[in-house]
Amino acid sequence: MSVVLVTGAATGIGRLTAVALARAGHTVHASMRDPEGKNAARAEDLRSLARAADLDLHVLELDVLSQESADAAVAEVVRRSGRIDVVIQNAGHLLVGYTESFTAEDLAHLFDVNAIGAQRVNRAALPHLRAQRSGVLVYVGSTTTVSVPPFLGPYVASKFAFDALAQVTAYEVGRFGVETVVVMPGAFTTGTNHFPDAGRASDTARAAAYAELDPLVARNEEATASLFDPAVDADPQSVADEIVRVLALPVGGKPLRTVVDFTQSHVQDVLDVAERERVDFVTRLGFADLLSVER
């Protein structure tokens, strides 16, 4: 079993993943911002669950906006458990609104949370993974980088950046035995706080210029829900279960990408074409050995 660090584990997919991995027998460090303050109730809920179910599940403070916090969190994982094997890059935030109405500062903050935060955590964890020449980086991405829905401009852009960092880092860390998996959830309108906690643009005057589109934004969740097959339970637990499944696969047998999507959007078809072209391009560059993990 592995020692796992999960970022953004206070709610939603992060929390579900932390619990599912602990139930599967892994040692899990569920991290979140301010577990003794803002997230105290959520932290205690996880601790109580761990005690009641006798899970090797621990709450840890980690703010992905701080390199010092990321370094301290990884050091604490290693201190408590002796090593770190898996990092689940899940922390993220959603913004909803008209792209023009988000200031450059709005975008910079979201990129800091959704993309640069993962880089901070990687910089804290990768020295350990490289030294032991093993480990897994799991990135919880998004199918929006393929489907590109309206009214989520800054979020989609930040997820493109997150995805690119994951792919390019994968070439480099694979030589050191570190595997990469990008898990791509589709939209979920229940079971997470993604939509309820979504941020809005700070330039409200500019947003008002788009008022004629407000009815479309207002029914965004309803429109998304209409994409689901009514016979299928679109439950975010399925993402956590997929992460558990992937981590159980042997070294070298994990997919670079896996899609968990109930919107019938044919994302996998697009990814199959893109992956074929990526492999061909990198091979023609003469870097085919970077496409596999050193064992």
Whole-number pLDDT of residue 79: 98
Predicted confidence band at 119 (pLDDT cuts at 50, 70, 90)? Answer: very high
Predicted confidence band at 191 (pLDDT cuts at 50, 70, 90)? Answer: low
pTM: 0.95
| Residue 243: pLDDT over 90 | yes
Lowest pLDDT segment from 89-93, 115-119, 216-220 = 216-220
Predicted confidence band at 110 (pLDDT cuts at 50, 70, 90)? Answer: very high
Contact (Cβ atoms closer than 8 angstroms) between residue 13 and residue 236: yes
Whole-number pLDDT of residue 197: 75
Q: Which two tokens stand for residue 145?
A: 């980088």
Predicted confidence band at 193 (pLDDT cuts at 50, 70, 90)? Answer: low
How many helices (H) and strands (E) would you count in the chain?
Answer: 12, 7
Contacts 24+ apart (CB under 8 A), 247-252: 247/2, 247/4, 247/21, 247/26, 247/86, 247/136, 247/138, 248/24, 251/134, 251/177, 251/179, 251/293, 251/295, 252/179, 252/292, 252/293, 252/295
- DSSP per-residue codes, 4-17: EEESS-SSHHHHHH
Q: Give, in order, the Cα–Cα distances in Å from 246 to each of 21, 33, 258, 292.
A: 11, 27, 9, 16
Q: Map out the domains of the chain with their CATH numbers.
A: 3-291 (3.40.50.720)
Q: HEC states along 79-99?
A: HHHCCCCEEEECCCCCECECH
Contact (Cβ atoms closer than 8 angstroms) between residue 139 and residue 166: yes
Span 127-152, pLDDT tens digits: 999 999 999 999 999 999 999 999 99
Closest by CA position to 95, among listed 195, 184, 218, 204: 195
Taking the C-alpha atoms of residue 151 and residue 241, their distance in angstroms, rounded to an integer, is: 29
Contact (Cβ atoms closer than 8 angstroms) between residue 83 and residue 1: no
Span 163-185, pLDDT tens digits: 999 999 999 999 999 999 999 99
Whole-number pLDDT of residue 232: 79
